[in-house]
Amino acid sequence: MGHTLHDHRHCDWDRDRAPALVVAPGEAVSLATLDASGGQLGPDSAPADVAAMDQDKVNPVNGPIAIDGAEPGDAIAVTLTDLETDGWGWTANIPGFGLLAGDFPHPVFWRWTIDRARGRGEAPGGIGWAPVKPFMGTIGLAPGAPGPHGIIPPYRTGGNMDCRKLVSGARLILPVEAAGGLVSAGDGHAAQGDGEVCGTAIETGMRLSVELELMKAAAPRAPVIETPAEAGPAAAEPRLVTTGVGPDLMDASRTAVRQMIDELTARRGLSAEAAYLMCSVCGDLSIAEIVDAPNWTVAFAFPLGRLG
């Protein structure tokens, strides 16, 4: 029988925060999260409300959840078994935030209507639409260094990675740096493009269910994602996704590719050289987010079905 985590919001990471819930490896947890504004923006908000947001309350996460027996050097695998958005969401231009902050200094607020039955979000004023593919923008473990640590940047232990591959059915493998791991999640997204260039996606409240697995002495260099198979011939193959997180895109890209080489040699018995060449031919390197200073997230996806 699974657990329900009630509202235990926090807006930073800290290894010394007492867990809101302690579970045994293999157990399931259901929880709900607020939108990235922490409830400061609503369906009837206006640009002035964006400019007036209290930045100390943004990007709240629910948790932490401790996994009994988790120690530094282990890995925790978080399987996202179910994700459900609210019926609306928002996208905003927040002054001073985003890739082109200097080009767009004024606050903007968009309310999207999320049609879950049709799987699409409708922009205001008939401007356009986006396919709804819900995912968690922020999910991670507490860093091992003494805290608190800001909630906006991602870390080696996950966090605000804004990687749109974290959909229902995905399995996220995170390196443990603090006792118990201390899993927290928030920042639900109904849709987002790679990069999240203006700094926001379709931000929405989310209800999610997860299963938590402990993998002893198996910490990866950075978060690893196993994606589910999707509908359609171009996306039918499940993919393995490795990440790199840090202030330098080149270094983050090298970390992501090196971790993929590690995964392919361990999972499929390839030599490192063979894995490197297959990565070059079949892998897809992308920027998951480039707005959460000082760290960016790079994702490297490989279709495992391409290997014999």
- Which residue shows structure tokens 């609306």? 88
CB-neighbour burial class of residue 34 (10 A; exposed 0-12, middle 13-18, buried 19+)? buried
pLDDT of residue 306: 80
Q: Is there a domain that residue 123 lies in? A: yes
74-95: average pLDDT: 96
Q: Is there a domain that residue 229 lies in? A: no
245: nearest Cα among 188, 183, 303, 288: 288
Q: Is there a domain that residue 239 lies in? A: no
Instruction: Tell me the pLDDT tens digit for each residue of 108-128.
Output: 999 999 998 898 899 888 888
Q: What is the DSSP string of 13-45?
A: E-TTSPPSEEE-TT-EEEEEE--TTTTS--TT-
Checking if the pLDDT of 193 tops 90, the result is no
Residue numbers of the domain that contains 90: 3-219
**What is the sign, positive or negative, of the torsion defined by CA atoms of 124, 125, 128, 132?**
positive
User: Residue 228, CB half-sphere, CA atoms under 13 Å: how many?
Assistant: 14
Q: Is there a domain that residue 36 lies in? A: yes
Helix (H, G, I), strand (E, B) or coil at 50: helix
Task: Label the pairing between strands 61-67 and 21-23.
Answer: parallel
Checking if the pLDDT of 231 tops 60, the result is no
Q: Is there a domain that residue 252 lies in? A: no
Q: What separation in angstroms does the CA of 171 have from each of 23, 128, 212, 263?
A: 18, 31, 10, 14
Q: Is there a domain that residue 277 lies in? A: no
Q: Give percent above pLDDT 90 in the chain.
A: 80
Do the beta carbons of residue 184 and residue 173 sit within 8 Å? no
Residue 282: pLDDT band (50, 70, 90) is: confident
Predicted TM-score (pTM) of this structure: 0.90
Q: Is there a domain that residue 17 lies in? A: yes
Report how far residue 197's alpha carbon sits from residue 98's, in angstroms, rounded to the nearest whole number.
6
Query: Which residues does residue 30 pair with via DSSP β-bridges, in sequence order?
Result: 4, 209
Instruction: Tell me the pLDDT tens digit for each residue of 138-179.
Output: 999 999 999 899 999 999 999 999 999 999 999 999 999 999
170-194: average pLDDT: 96
- The alpha helices in the chain, defined as continuous H runs, are 47-51, 249-268, 272-282
Instruction: Tell me the pLDDT tens digit for each residue of 220-230.
Output: 999 999 998 76
pLDDT of residue 230: 67
Whichever domain contains 121, its CATH number is 2.60.120.580
218: nearest Cα among 174, 178, 182, 257: 174
Give the angle subtended at the CA of 43 by the CAs of 39 and 49, to the nearest 5°: 65
Extract long-range pairs of 258-261: CB within 8 Å, 24+ residues apart.
258/221, 259/220, 259/221, 259/222, 259/224, 259/300, 260/300, 260/302
Q: Is there a domain that residue 204 lies in? A: yes
> Could you give phi then psi for residue 10, rounded to 5 degrees?
-150, 155
Report how far residue 241's alpha carbon sits from residue 257's, in angstroms, rounded to the nearest whole number.
10
**Domain count across the chain:** 1
Helix (H, G, I), strand (E, B) or coil at 217: coil
pLDDT of residue 189: 96
213-236: average pLDDT: 83
Q: In whole numbers, what is the pLDDT of the chain averaged over residues?
A: 93
218: nearest Cα among 70, 17, 48, 93: 70
Instruction: Tell me the pLDDT tens digit for each residue of 14-65.
Output: 999 999 999 999 999 999 999 999 999 999 999 999 999 999 999 999 999 9
Task: Label the pairing between strands 3-5 and 28-33.
Answer: parallel
Between 236 and 216, residue with greater pLDDT: 216
Residue 232: pLDDT band (50, 70, 90) is: low
User: Residue 292, CB half-sphere, CA atoms under 13 Å: how many?
Assistant: 30
